Amino acid sequence: VQLQASGGGLVQAGGSLRLSCAASGRSFSGYAMGWFRQAPGKEREFVAAISSGGTTYYADSVEGRFTISRDNAKNTVYLQMNSLKPDDTAVYYCATSAQFLATYTRAYDYWGQGTQVTVSS
């Protein structure tokens, strides 16, 4: 299974970015997908998850600003990030899980390589 994350970059506070994660090597539509992030010196933290059926769940810190979605025909999951803040600066990782909307890293078995998001103030 391979996950390829892309779409990161440098943006000013208040701006938007859309991350993409393309999956291959697994029946994508049957698995939940999640986004996590890790800032320097901090643990990897949950951001958002989407079930195989499209149910979504968000961390409190991004609720109302970020939207996770998936396109099963393209084997791709997206993270639309709006109203970005400097605290959102981190490496963002996508991952796949057989569990329903898990928020902990151990529930995810395959991970992408990460994409850097930097929000300037």
pLDDT along the chain (121 residues), means of 10: 95 98 87 96 97 96 98 96 98 95 94 97 94
pLDDT at 39: 97
Of 16, 19, 88, the C-alpha closest to 59 is: 88
Give 1's DSSP letter.
-
pLDDT at 105: 96
Is the four-CA dihedral 2, 93, 95, 74 of positive or negative sign?
negative
Of 41, 39, 43, 63, the C-alpha closest to 116 is: 39
pLDDT at 60: 98
pLDDT at 26: 73
Question: Are 5 and 109 a contacting pair, CB within 8 Å?
Answer: no
pLDDT at 40: 93
Report the alpha-carbon distance of residue 33 to residue 17 in Å, rounded: 19
Cα 90–Cα 81–Cα 96 angle in degrees, nearest 5: 70
Report the alpha-carbon distance of residue 29 to residue 92 in Å, rounded: 21
pLDDT at 27: 80
In one-letter notation, the amino acid at residue 89 is T
